[in-house]
Amino acid sequence: MANQEQTPNLLGKEIAKRLEQLGMSRREFNRRFHLSRQTLHSLEYSSGKRFAPSTFQQIDVGLKWPSGTAKAFYEGVANAREILSGQSSEELVKQYVESIVAHIYAMSLEELEREVLMLEEESYGRPLPTSEESLSVIRETVARLTNAMLNGIKNNRHDNDGNRKAKNAG
């Protein structure tokens, strides 16, 4: 039987796009979010196969999607992002931060250290030489990301208020 080229389903196409946006390989994604290569492949190329809700949750967390997005894409809902993004940006940020905290809380000390080393290598091409330098980079990064999220929420509120005022005036 000749090798048949498989075509990815909707979830497979969305995973490929998102991994490219995040600059992450499938191998790295599998390692970070504890999915086997076979499971990810099945999610991307099969349909009708049943997966545990936790599998879809891992995909959502790993790809920074709102909860339920991966399952909706797997079920073929083409406008899943629009359906699920009816949430406010505050809700999305809160969900994302909660998922990060839950993920970190569940890690052992060794897993957390490996994650920090991996982030350093991704950011700088090598682990940083001292613990103090590592902590400094982590603190700066967290502060920068927090400020960016808060500014995004504030700007979104400002834009929404302006839109409401314009609608009410018209």
pLDDT tens, position by position, 111-143: 777 777 766 666 666 555 666 666 676 667 666
The CA distance from 117 to 48, in Å, is 39
The CA distance from 142 to 133, in Å, is 14
Segment among 13-17, 111-115, 140-144, 154-158 with least mean pLDDT: 154-158
